[in-house]
Amino acid sequence: MAVGAGSPRTEGFRFRRLQKPEEFRQVEELRTAVWGPESEVGVPTALQRALQDNGGIVLGAFADIYLAGATISLLGWDGSTLYHYSHLTVVRPEYQNHGLGFRLKAFQRDEVLKLGLSEIRGTFDPLEGRSAGLIVRRLGARPDRYFSHYFGQLDDPVDRGLETDRLRWVWPLADVRVEERMAGRLPSSEDVQRRWAGSTPIVETDAGESGLRVPTVVQEPTGPSAHLEIPFDLASVREHEEAGVRRWRHAVRDAFRAAFDLGYAVDDFAVLSAAHERRSFYFLSPAPKPSPPASAGP
């Protein structure tokens, strides 16, 4: 099945479930190419086979027999809702930022809807702007919980030396807003600029020693709209301002915890460009209060 046209670089890619043992092995090889051999986030090939045949979904983006990206999800159950839990999404470095991640998730959504389920959940590192751009802005999923040091210490190049905090996201697949985002109806840069100007900062930032932004103050959100800044490019901060990464981790953790405790919910994410600088923000607003249970009457 082909999903969307994609960029010229990824035109002609096919999206399908993996079937052969050598295809499952390609996922592990791809995962190692992105996270390194030390990474613990992999899914052994025998487990991929087991998932594929028992309610899970292992799917890939192929150029002929070459696997350029993959995503793996499994059945999840929280005591009241049956959903799919997205454990891994990965695109080969040379194909990143060409829409393959989006098309993989679109195909995963179709497959989960076919199973008769209407929700996918997952987690990502809240400091990773590219993940937030894909999951929150492009797919319309909503982060709703903050987990501190979720996986404990991981020894891959991305997580090494940093507490593995994660944002849990929920993606209601048939939601009108999700349909809009999947169809590419996104806020314009003017809308984003207006929203930013009309909302209060939860994390204030300033240039650190290397010139890259680092957080200076965290404050509670107030009013109908707030924004929460993260680094535009975490890898650059890691490279040029090592202590800054930990400052970001702790500031963003405190900010999300305060915001969720006060009943705020994340409803968008965007990158703003101003004065030759790109800055990344989550947008939050007070979550609607759940309606009280209907009275049983006298």
Question: Which residues would be at the binding site for ligand COA (CB under 6 A)?
Answer: 34, 89-91, 96-102, 124, 128-131, 133-135, 138, 232-233, 271, 280
Q: How far is the CB of 96 from ligand COA (least distance, A)?
A: 3
Q: How far is the CB of 220 from ligand COA (least distance, A)?
A: 25
For residues 42 and 241, give the distance between their C-alpha atoms in angstroms, rounded to a whole number: 29
Q: In this structure, are residues 210 and 192 in contact, taking their beta carbons and an 8 Å threshold?
A: no
Structure tokens at 102: 């989006």
How many Cβ atoms sit within 10 Å of the Cβ of residue 12?
12
**Is the Cβ of residue 100 or residue 228 nearer to ligand COA in the bound state?**
100
**Is the Cβ of residue 93 or residue 224 nearer to ligand COA in the bound state?**
93
> Letter for the amino acid at 113?
L
Q: How far is the CB of 174 from ligand COA (least distance, A)?
A: 21
Which residue has its beta carbon closest to ligand COA? Answer: 101
Q: Which residues pair with 17 in a beta bridge?
A: 59
Q: Residue for token digits 């800055």?
A: 279
Q: How far is the CB of 297 from ligand COA (least distance, A)?
A: 48
**Is the Cβ of residue 225 or residue 280 nearer to ligand COA in the bound state?**
280
**Is the Cβ of residue 98 or residue 142 nearer to ligand COA in the bound state?**
98
**Is the Cβ of residue 75 or residue 186 nearer to ligand COA in the bound state?**
186
β-strand pairing of 264-274 with 226-230: unpaired
Q: How far is the CB of 117 from ligand COA (least distance, A)?
A: 20
Q: How far is the CB of 222 from ligand COA (least distance, A)?
A: 26
**Is the Cβ of residue 156 or residue 220 nearer to ligand COA in the bound state?**
156
Q: In this structure, are residues 249 and 165 in contact, taking their beta carbons and an 8 Å threshold?
A: yes
How many Cβ atoms sit within 10 Å of the Cβ of residue 17?
13
Beta strands across the sheet bearing 226-230: 200-201, 226-230, 277-286, 264-274
**Is the Cβ of residue 33 or residue 243 nearer to ligand COA in the bound state?**
33
Distances, alpha carbon 69 to alpha carbons 36, 72, 98, 105, 249, in Å: 16, 11, 11, 11, 28
How many Cβ atoms sit within 10 Å of the Cβ of residue 173?
21
Q: In this structure, are residues 270 and 199 in contact, taking their beta carbons and an 8 Å threshold?
A: no
Q: How far is the CB of 152 from ligand COA (least distance, A)?
A: 18
